[in-house]
Every structure is written in C-alpha cells, then in structure tokens.
C-alpha cells in the first residue's frame, strides 16, 4: 500500500516598479471544496490533535508564523501515542503550502501574535462530522 507523505509546495514572488505578486503555480486547487481561516487568541493556544481518515488538507500562513505538527494515525480508535511527529513551520515570509494527505492528525499553534492560517479541504462541510477524529493536545508524545 502506497503511503502519501506530507509535503511542502513551494511558491514564489515577483517584484517590479508596480509592486509585487506572490504566486502558488504548483498548488493544484481542483480538489478543494472549501476553505477556512484560523487566527488563534494567542501563541499559547494549541488546536488538535485533529485527524481525518479521508479528507486531505492544505495549509497556508497568510500572516505570521505557525507550527503544524503531524502524526500518521495507525489505529483511529487507539492510535500509538509514540507515533513519529513531524513539525512543519509555515510563515508569511515564505510562500508555501503544506499538503497533508488523508490519514494524519494535526496540532496547530501560532508562533506569532495575530497570525492567520488558511486551511483548504477536499470535502464539503457536511462530510466533516463523518471524518473527524479528535485527540487530546497531550496525547502524542513522539
């Protein structure tokens, strides 16, 4: 069985006398059905661990910096607490999207005040409650 891994999709920018353009030419949005934006109350807030068996997501830091920790779920009812945790940093200084395939849980924490994170999902909101697994923020210890 092929296991998809999370990956960074790199963007770019162009500057000239008129100003600048940021672009994500390699981010294929044809699968996206909805998106939402998260702005945490402060840098202490941790959102997660939230996992999806079926839904895949893409993360983009539009303002500030975020830590996004991911763990592949081996058993949805009783996952291994010592699963490998991979930590990604997304920042508005770097134009990039993090693709998270189905089968992962994430923990999101802003690392700067008033940071905003866009999340794109490949399923409609009606599907969300059918594919939503929530674990305590301290559940995974790596």
Q: What is the pLDDT of residue 2?
A: 66
Question: 38 φ, ψ to 5°?
Answer: -110, 130
Kindly indicate the confidence band of residue 3, based on its pLDDT and cuts at 50, 70 and 90. confident
Residue 23 in tokens: 């672009």
Q: In the chain, what are the domains?
A: 46-142 (2.60.120.10)
CA gap 138, 134 in Å, rounded: 12
Quick: pLDDT tens for 15-26: 999 999 999 999
Angstrom CA distances, 36 to 51, 54, 60, 95, 103, stand at 16, 18, 11, 18, 20
Q: Choose the weakest-confidence range: 2-6, 19-23, 98-102, 105-109.
A: 2-6
Q: What is the pLDDT of residue 1?
A: 57
Closest by alpha carbon to 112, among 55, 50, 57, 63?
A: 63
Q: What is the pTM of this model?
A: 0.94
CA gap 113, 44 in Å, rounded: 10
């Amino acid at each position: 069985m092929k296991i998809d891994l999370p990956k960074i999709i790199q963007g770019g920018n162009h500057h000239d006398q008129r100003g600048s353009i940021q672009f994500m030419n390699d981010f294929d949005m044809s699968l996206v059905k909805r998106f939402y934006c998260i702005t945490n109350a402060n840098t202490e807030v941790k959102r997660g661990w939230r996992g999806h068996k079926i839904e895949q997501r893409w993360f983009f830091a539009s303002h500030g910096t975020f830590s996004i920790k991911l763990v592949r779920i081996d058993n949805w009812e009783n996952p291994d607490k010592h699963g490998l945790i991979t930590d990604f940093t997304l920042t508005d200084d770097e134009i990039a999207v993090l693709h998270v395939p189905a089968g992962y849980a994430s923990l999101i924490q802003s690392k700067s005040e008033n940071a905003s994170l866009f999340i794109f999902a490949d399923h409609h909101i009606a599907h969300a409650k059918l594919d939503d697994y929530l674990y305590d923020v301290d559940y995974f210890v790596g």
